[in-house]
Structure 1
Amino acid sequence: MNLEQKVRDAYARIAAVDRPEVWISLRPLEDVLAEAAGVDRDAPLAGVLVAVKDNIDVAGLATTAGAPSFAYAPSGDATAVARLRAAGALVLGKTNLDQFATGLVGTRSPHGAVRHAFAPDRISGGSSSGSAVAVALGLVDVALGTDTAGSGRVPAALHGIVGVKPTRGLVPTTGVVPACRSIDCVTVFARDLDLARRTAELLTGPDGLDPLARVDEPLPAPPARPRIAVPTPEHLAGLAEGWAEAFATCVAGVRASGAEVVELDIAPLLEVAGLLYGGAFVAERTAAVGAHVAAHPELVGTDLDPTVAAIVAAGESVSAVEVFRDRERLDVLAARSRELLAGFDALLTPTTTWHPTLAEVAADPVGANSRMGRFTNFANLLDLASLAVPAGTVDGLPFGVMLTGPAFSDRSLAVLAARWANPSVDLLVVGAHLSGHPLNHQLVAAGATLVRAVRTAPQYRLFALDTAPPKPGMVRDADGASIAGEVWRLPAAGFGTFVAGLPQPMTIGTVTLEDASTVRGFLAEPAALQGAEEITGFGSWPAAQHARGPASRAVVAASAP
């Protein structure tokens, strides 16, 4: 494993995608390279690249929680970050977020709204917006977020990646700026379920510092025929167009896997969800950062997001009597919820209800945000574990579902998800399907997410084909060179649809990468190369397009949809 090259490639990729709103701070490349040189290659996460939400401490980088005026220099790593580093992971930097982790949209930051990775007119989801986008764009392998109301699950669903929200207290929150201290969770994003769960496992266990940390008490593995609850139809009303149908398809897949699926009236859980922002519990946000907001009224609208400031300030008017009344109401609803879910191995729901545009959120910041948390807000108040996983696409954008279960069901949820979650195929692209190129939208429409930038083994040749839009053809040749490209991950169903529409002379074959691993990739039929200009020496299709001049680039631009 060439960790130095992997790090260099990651920084080059960060520069190439040009998404500055994803990051609040990046470590110097030289520092990460020096750390990479000392990584134990046998460590469980050796060479895994990580981004960290900027309400979690990373030694050497300021913690801002999305508010520059709040910034402080941490004395060391948060427990979760320290455990990642001890496992061989390399932290690249800190990511943008809804300020003070207050929001599910990803737009509430003085550093700018974090746009969706593949549909920049839409929101990324929050509050762990930058972390989710960094994973979806293939800038890092894993990212840490936090989740109080759904911040580690909503952006995962909107990007077709995995979001692990552990049981409350399993991952210590030492070194995390609190949103609601009693229910905050450190969460994990990854493109792969196995990597996400392995990472979460390495973060668990008391650290002797967090008074709310808990020892894991894993529940038994789910039975061969698990019982899965799903909401009754009235609770699925108001989903975005096409989402109810996508959820029904997912439920059918769960049934086909051998599970018993039972419709359940989840009204008590949804009433709990309303308490998180609509009741006295908002005062815990005031206890966390209210003093800072109150001390800087002149910064509201510049350094301090107005919507966040209003939410935080609202807790000042909550009385102790109201807190105790809502605690009592929560106790009653929690008992009803336990009774309701007894006998089920998990509750399956859509992760969120819609995927708004940036303009829609700007027009109604509070209302748009409140729609996002219908199925996520109740989990931490009820001490439940949750796992968000991809479940296909609707109109070319990811659709996600969520498994929720009792405390300490974390491993069981992962086992259940692995039984029916969409299998995926990795595909190497080297030409018109690359990010920013004319046919990339076809990959996105098939549900693909970017995994990483790569190079092939030095045994391929590249030719410029006479096609519209212009595209290259790659063939294997022992006397060839290494060609740059990208690996994209498609749901198996999306891969089948994508390949079925592949025009001649393109074909799909097995390609060897420079690290000796293999992946499915675009190749060309040899007959198509007769008379084609060889461009192997440029090392990549974008480099060849640039070198061949403005006329070539104009043809590409004119071909874009």
Structure 2
Amino acid sequence: MTPQKGTMTRDGPTDEHSRPDATAIAHAVRAGTRSAEQLCRQSLTAAQEADGVFWTVDPAALQAARDIDRRAAHGHPLGPLAGVPIAVKDSFDIAGLDTTLGLRTPVHRAEKDAEVVARLRAADAVVIGKTSMDQLGWSMTGQTPGRPPCPNPTAPNTLPGGSSAGSAAAVAAGIVPLAIGGDTAGSVRVPAAWCHVVGLKLSHASVRLDGCAPLAPSMDCVGVFATSIRDCRTTAEVLGVTGPDRAVALPRIGVPSRLLQHGPMDPRVAAAFEAALKHLADLGHPIVEIDFELRPRGTGRILTREAAVQWAGRIAPDEPDLLTAFDLGTRMDPATYAQARQAVAHTAHRAAAVFTHVDVIALPTTPLLPPAVSEPAAVLDASRFTRAASAYGWPAISLPLGTGPHDCALQLIARQGKDHQLMNYAEHLWEALTC
């Protein structure tokens, strides 16, 4: 499990010639050894040349970068993301720009920044622009009708994953070191896995989603794409996520039993996951098999009902699956929806008992390697291992186990509100796997 030259460890790129992570960039900008304006210009140029990754750039970005350089030159204090170029999924409002959600007609032109964007700017990040996404965030291919295809920078001719495709691709391609996405059933973790970057889904309701277009409000969460866990931690704190961060030296790892009974898994994914577990066990980490419901009943009903309530009759999507979901959700009676919510809540309560025996749950992020562009995977297959954490509202993180086209990713899950503990466990385990 030794990292290849030029790949990532828990603190960022390993090769001295690799791009620095956001933490290093912000430190250099605060020290006056890097120019926020120069960084911004580089990212804007790359964004405009990256067909299918960015849908629009923010015309206010350069002025914001110049202001940061001016403040640095005068010795004024700068925020934790000083001068860091950041990309934002198109479901988040940026003042003065259209929010399209991948539709042919914009939903609206934003009058003010989303809460998340405002917090990033307050931390002195430079928002570069809006990235591509599946229509309404419903699918997981990363492709949108009527738009240029979003590429996978790490595995040409394969899908980047979705729905936060552009944000994952922007970090993977080095256009920006940090990007924001939205995760309802795996829409950050799956593209993070397929594009070989770190993808963090925060606990449900830990970050205000004002100014972010909803899909299923009871499951929608903010997510972060980065090349290091420390960047995820800083961004989470900027977004207001606080809490205890104590973590034991050797976290007890729970592995859901009967993974293969839920559906097929690529043999290369299974082999990499088993190798990672063996490596951790050899280092003394306790690993136990646990009973964990990966497909909580009622999740699909919640998604379709809440999406229909939000959007049916308001928009005209091109995706047939969305039209079907709107039809099913519109016709669903309130009692059925209420029963689905109760079923998921009951399963989540029962599932949380596992944390009396383990500190973190580990499983592959997705059972599939990135499919060829010509052979898109079904959402239910791609998100088979990510939907449970979303349904339960728990934080989860995807860690790349390599950067080759056939390398997979490890997903770690903690209980609700333990976001910082999760990142501590992730740092510890990723260091163990990459040293």
User: Structure 1 length normalisation: TM-score?
Assistant: 0.67
Task: Tell which structure's C-alpha radius of gyration is larger.
Answer: 1
- 1:93-112 alpha-carbon deviations (Å, 9 max, x no partner): 10110111112221244324
Query: Following TM superposition, by how much is the alpha carbon of 1:173 offset from its aligned partner in structure 2, in angstroms?
Result: 0.3
Q: Tell me which amino acid in the other structure corresponds to 1:222.
A: A
- For 1:33, the equivalent position in structure 2 comes to 62
- 1:11-65 alpha-carbon deviations (Å, 9 max, x no partner): 33335xx43111111123xx32221111144321011101110010111211111
Aligned partner of 1:114 among 150, 155, 160: 150
Is the 2:51–2:148 contact (alpha carbons within 8 Å) kept by the matching residues of 1? no
| Residues 356 and 183 of structure 1, relative CA distance in 2, 3 Å threshold | same
Query: Following TM superposition, by how much is the alpha carbon of 1:219 offset from its aligned partner in structure 2, in angstroms?
Result: 4.2
| Identity %, equivalent residues | 31
| Residues 409 and 253 of structure 1, relative CA distance in 2, 3 Å threshold | farther
- 1:122-154 alpha-carbon deviations (Å, 9 max, x no partner): 110100000100010000111110001011111
- For 1:554, the equivalent position in structure 2 comes to none
1:54-69 maps to which residues of 2 (within 5 A)? 54-69=90-105
- For 2:426, the equivalent position in structure 1 comes to 417
Aligned partner of 2:55 among 3, 24, 27: 24
Distance in 1 (alpha carbons) for counterparts of 2:237 and 2:35: 26
Is the 1:280–1:318 contact (alpha carbons within 8 Å) kept by the matching residues of 2? no
Distance in 2 (alpha carbons) for counterparts of 1:258 and 1:110: 52
Aligned residues: 393
Is the 1:66–1:99 contact (alpha carbons within 8 Å) kept by the matching residues of 2? yes
Cα-Cα RMSD: 2.1
Query: Following TM superposition, by how much is the alpha carbon of 1:369 offset from its aligned partner in structure 2, in angstroms?
Result: 1.6
- For 1:375, the equivalent position in structure 2 comes to 385
1:328-347 maps to which residues of 2 (within 5 A)? 328-347=342-361
Distance in 1 (alpha carbons) for counterparts of 2:307 and 2:106: 15
Instruction: Determine whether 1:170 maps to 2:184.
Output: no
SS in 2 for 1:92: strand
Instruction: Determine whether 1:5 maps to 2:54.
Output: no
Aligned partner of 1:254 among 273, 280, 283: 280
Distance in 2 (alpha carbons) for counterparts of 1:173 and 1:155: 21
Distance in 1 (alpha carbons) for counterparts of 2:173 and 2:337: 42
Distance in 1 (alpha carbons) for counterparts of 2:407 and 2:46: 23
Is the 2:36–2:84 contact (alpha carbons within 8 Å) kept by the matching residues of 1? no
| Residues 337 and 72 of structure 1, relative CA distance in 2, 3 Å threshold | same
Structure 1 segments (4+ residues) deviating >6 Å: none
Q: Runs of 5+ in structure 1 lacking a partner?
A: 206-215, 424-490, 494-561
Hey, which of these two has a bigger chunk of strand by percent? 1
Distance in 2 (alpha carbons) for counterparts of 1:256 and 1:45: 38
Distance in 2 (alpha carbons) for counterparts of 1:314 and 1:115: 32
- 1:68-114 alpha-carbon deviations (Å, 9 max, x no partner): 32431112111110010111100111011011111222124432432
Distance in 2 (alpha carbons) for counterparts of 1:14 and 1:174: 26
Is the 1:181–1:288 contact (alpha carbons within 8 Å) kept by the matching residues of 2? no
Distance in 2 (alpha carbons) for counterparts of 1:81 and 1:203: 9
User: Structure 2 length normalisation: TM-score?
Assistant: 0.85
Aligned partner of 1:306 among 320, 323, 328: 320
- 1:440-461 alpha-carbon deviations (Å, 9 max, x no partner): xxxxxxxxxxxxxxxxxxxxxx
Is the 2:365–2:409 contact (alpha carbons within 8 Å) kept by the matching residues of 1? yes
- For 1:451, the equivalent position in structure 2 comes to none
1:120-135 maps to which residues of 2 (within 5 A)? 120-135=156-171
1:495-514 maps to which residues of 2 (within 5 A)? none
Is the 2:183–2:221 contact (alpha carbons within 8 Å) kept by the matching residues of 1? yes
| Residues 180 and 387 of structure 1, relative CA distance in 2, 3 Å threshold | same
Is the 2:153–2:169 contact (alpha carbons within 8 Å) kept by the matching residues of 1? yes
Is the 2:266–2:367 contact (alpha carbons within 8 Å) kept by the matching residues of 1? yes
Is the 1:228–1:262 contact (alpha carbons within 8 Å) kept by the matching residues of 2? yes
Is the 2:298–2:343 contact (alpha carbons within 8 Å) kept by the matching residues of 1? no
Distance in 2 (alpha carbons) for counterparts of 1:45 and 1:337: 36
1:70-469 maps to which residues of 2 (within 5 A)? 70-204=106-240, 216=242, 218-219=243-244, 221-235=246-260, 238-266=264-292, 269-272=293-296, 275-277=298-300, 279-293=301-315, 296=316, 304-354=318-368, 355-361=370-376, 368-392=378-402, 396-421=405-430
Distance in 2 (alpha carbons) for counterparts of 1:14 and 1:78: 21
